[in-house]
Amino acid sequence: MPIVRSPEAVTHEMHGARFISYATPLTGSKELCAWRGEIPAGTRAPLHTVTREEIFHLLDGELLITLDGHTERITAGDTVIINPGATLGVENPTGEVAVSWVTTSIGLEAELADGTRITPPWAH
């Protein structure tokens, strides 16, 4: 039975945020990836278009989520469904760290506005 203990999770950092990876093929997952995101106060992630559906659940804090040009404030307990091909932006305008839990299918990629393609290691 694959169990990923908290100290075994792998931490990655990108664009000022921290991604703590729990479920990946390396930990025994066959179809899904899941990670905890920590978005520091004042962080604004660049707009990026995703290739797979993401389920983004905010555990703690507040964020501004921009999805296909429409911005909404979300608070702890809210869930955002991000469909493949959607363009996403995440901003933490508060003075506190926001914490999220994200799930997607293995193979997620993101394309930045300048055409740069990112293959996040926590989603493979």
Domains of the chain: total: 1
Whether the pLDDT of residue 123 is over 80: the answer is yes
- Spatial neighbors of 4 by CB under 8 A, at least 6 apart, are 22, 23, 27, 28
Strands 10-14 and 79-82: unpaired
Specify if 70 maps to a domain. Answer: yes
Q: Predicted confidence band at 124 (pLDDT cuts at 50, 70, 90)?
A: confident
- Spatial neighbors of 64 by CB under 8 A, at least 6 apart, are 71, 72, 73, 74, 89, 90, 91, 92, 93
What pTM was estimated for this model as a whole? Answer: 0.94
Specify if 4 maps to a domain. Answer: no
| Two tokens, residue 48 | 């990026």
Specify if 103 maps to a domain. Answer: yes
pLDDT digits (tens, 9 = 90+) for 108-117: 999 999 999 9
Quote the domain boundaries for residue 88: 9-119
pLDDT digits (tens, 9 = 90+) for 24-81: 999 999 999 999 999 999 999 999 999 999 999 999 999 999 999 999 999 999 999 9
Specify if 124 maps to a domain. Answer: no
Specify if 1 maps to a domain. Answer: no
CATH of the domain at 106: 2.60.120.10
Specify if 82 maps to a domain. Answer: yes
Q: Predicted confidence band at 2 (pLDDT cuts at 50, 70, 90)?
A: confident
**Residue 123 half-sphere exposure, CB side, CA atoms within 13 Å?**
20
